Amino acid sequence: MNLYINQLQKKADFKEAIYAGDIFLNTELTSAKELCAFAQESITAAFDGETDHHALHRMMPVEDFVALVTRLKGQFTNSQRAKDLIRAFTLEIGVDPQDYIFDVPRVRVVPNYNYLHAGVSYAYKPHRDTWYGSVDCQINTWMPVHTIKPEQTMMINPAYFDVPVKNTSADWSLSEWINTQRHRAKDNLTEERRVHPVPQEEINGASEVRIAGNTGEMLIFSGSHLHGTVPNYTDNTRFSVDFRLMHLDDLKHKRGAINVDSACPDVGAGFKDYFHAHDFSNFQGIK
Ligand SMILES: [Fe+2]
């Protein structure tokens, strides 16, 4: 696996590198920093003006925290500002927004594990997004909203990029998730009762990479990488922002990362949530 630093906008064939498992870290993107600044504003607004974001979980019972996180997520994901900044991101890295669609941006909130690790703050077990019905050409972005430590980040385990992992994706349905399970996030407080696609074998963490960045420092990687949430046992809540891009032509021609083990039966069931990057019209699927 290769790691490119601040080269996304300089490498014309960056998609191919991502499909091959390479990871990009871009620390100087204006659009990324603005998206994080917007996330910070959104967090403060959702939590009634509180600016000490790290300490939010220490200030209230978990039920209240879940209600406010639910409000935050809805507001951020559906905002025009976040969409504008994703388009700005495509322009900043030098691609044509007409060529791309994106999945709605999300803000993730990971408080101390013992306080909450289910529902709105589900700690993702190692997975590929393709297990969750994503396409092979999905390009993931991820960045911390505030400076984080390795104990609070997301992990990527590049050793498994082209090595199969026994998993339950064949028995998991994206349609069922979208229509029924997703809305139940706020009802899961103490344990995650919703079914996720998970590994059925021990994952060797020896080559796990935990990148701890600062606000707006963005990782860009294939959704086919094995990745997951690092359980946060620190006393600070971690906030991150992510969104996903797909190149239309690659989607159409089924280009992308190698599929070594994903068997989700309804890949693409989430297409209706995707937007064209140039005009934010809804993606109507592959014609
Ligand atoms: Fe994921």
In a domain, 80, yes or no: yes
Cα 30 to averaged position of ligand 1 atoms, centre (Å): 24
Distance 226 CA to ligand 1 centre (A): 8
Flag whether pLDDT at 209 surpasses 80: yes
pLDDT in tens, 119-178: 998 889 999 999 999 999 999 999 999 999 999 999 999 999 999 999 999 999 999 888
Give the Å distance between the CA of 104 and the centre of ligand 1.
14
Instruction: Tell how far the Cα of 112 is from the centroid of ligand 1, in angstroms.
Output: 20
Residue 286 counted as domain residue: no
With beta carbons less than 8 A apart as the criterion, state whether 86 and 105 touch. Answer: yes
CATH at residue 184: 2.60.120.620
Question: What's the pLDDT at 188?
Answer: 80
Banded pLDDT at 213 (limits 50, 70, 90):
very high
What is the distance in A from the centroid of ligand 1 to the CA of 109?
14
- pLDDT at residue 268 above 90? no
Given this model, what pLDDT does residue 113 score? 95
pLDDT band at 22 (very low <50, low <70, confident <90, very high): very high
> Is residue 282 domain-resident?
no
- Domain count of the fold of the chain: 1
Query: What integer is the mean pLDDT of 277-282?
Result: 96
The boundaries of the domain holding residue 139 are: 3-276
Q: Is the residue at 287 inside a domain?
A: no
Cα–Cα separations (whole angstroms), residue 267 to 9, 58, 205, 213, 244: 29, 39, 28, 32, 15
- The DSSP result for 168-201, as a single string, is SGGG--HHHIIIIIGGGGGG-SSS--S----BSS
Provide the residue type at 173 as one letter. Answer: S
Report d(CA 117, CA 37) in Å as an integer. 25
- Cα(132) to ligand 1 centroid in Å equals 8
Say how many Å lie between the CA of residue 49 and the centre of ligand 1: 30
Question: Cα(13) to centroid of ligand 1, in Å?
Answer: 23
Ligand 1 centroid to Cα of residue 224, in Å, is 9
**284 in a domain, yes or no?**
no
How far, in Å, from the CA of 195 to the mean position of ligand 1? Answer: 15
- Is 130 within the bounds of a domain? yes
User: Is the residue at 124 inside a domain?
Assistant: yes
| Residue 270 in this model has a pLDDT that exceeds 90 | no
Q: Is residue 156 in some structural domain?
A: yes
Query: How many angstroms is it from 9 CA to the middle of ligand 1?
Result: 24
